[in-house]
Amino acid sequence: MRRFEGRTAIVTGAGGAIGAAIARRLGSEGAGLVLADLDDATVDATATQLCEAYAIDVVTVSGDLSDAAVAQAVADAARERFDRIDVLVNNAGGGVILPTEEQTEATLQATLDRNIWTVLRTTLATLPTMREAGYGRIVMIGADSVRNGLDRHAVYNAAKGGVHAFAAGLAREYARAGITVNTVAPCATATPELAAIVARSPEVGEAFTRVIPMGRPAALEEVASAVAFLASDEASFITGQVLGVNGGSTMN
């Protein structure tokens, strides 16, 4: 499939595990990419791999996306290189997973900055271009834990729940503007971080997978393929939805 030929996609947090998998999937289907991350080394590594693998045009921007100027630089980079922004994947984030009473001022702030402010800033920087074009696909990476609760995830859920709610509000506001807004909500996903958690404390890792009927974490590619569908023209009549990629953890 080459669903993104001639399209431009921004993927935030593209230096991380899920973000790199999403970038790979969109790039493998022909998208020009703007990859953003706090960490310049990892995002540059993702870009180099994808340029070599798929002969696509890739731009990187590094910086803290909770800063409006950095988010604006991402949107500007897309317009300068590609003169369009078709897809925005708001993937940057990550929890500070702790029992609620062990959260500190710093971990509370980091959780909100990473998960909420990055999404607000990047979306606001991107929307004008999509609105002018009358076309856009915004996909949030939310979390299944928003719907099923999950041990130690309360503060993270407070932030990710805001992302789910922001997506719903935007979906309605832009429904007639050609812009769809959806959320992919993964359960525990097979990232190096999950492997480290399981190695440190097997009982915590076990608690994360116990709630998954399929009995295993999501593969990175399983999250990426759901994102690619919602980011494609095939999902043209789907907006304001939360797609759980969760092995049956929640059922509608």
> CA 173 to CA 200: how far, in whole Å?
44
Q: Is residue 119 part of the contact set for ligand NAD (CB under 6 A)?
A: no
136, with CB counted inside 10 A (0-12, 13-18, 19+), is: buried
> CA 138 to CA 150: how far, in whole Å?
26
Over the window 188 to 217, marking each residue x when it contacts ligand NAD by CB under 6 A and - when it does not, the resulting string is xx-x-xx-----------------------
> CA 12 to CA 85: how far, in whole Å?
13
The one catalytic residue in 54, 135, 156, 174 is: 156
In whole angstroms, the minimum distance from the beta carbon of 149 to ligand NAD comes to 14
Q: Is residue 17 part of the contact set for ligand NAD (CB under 6 A)?
A: yes
> CA 74 to CA 37: how far, in whole Å?
10
Helices and strands, number each (H, E), in the chain: 10, 7
Q: Which is nearer to ligand NAD, 87 or 135 (CB)?
A: 87
156 is catalytic: yes
Q: Is residue 44 part of the contact set for ligand NAD (CB under 6 A)?
A: no
Tokens 């994102």, located at residue? 227
Stretch that binds ligand NAD, among 2-10, 26-34, 93-101, 231-239 (CB under 6 A): 93-101
* Spatial contact of 74 and 10, defined as CB atoms under 8 Å apart: yes
Q: Is residue 19 part of the contact set for ligand NAD (CB under 6 A)?
A: yes
Q: Which is nearer to ligand NAD, 193 or 222 (CB)?
A: 193
Q: Is residue 141 part of the contact set for ligand NAD (CB under 6 A)?
A: yes
Buried b (16+ CB within 10 A) or exposed e, 118-128: bbbbbbebbbe
Residues that bind ligand NAD (CB under 6 A): 13, 15-19, 37-39, 42, 64-66, 91-95, 113-114, 118, 141, 143, 186, 188-189, 191, 193-194
Residues with catalytic function:
156
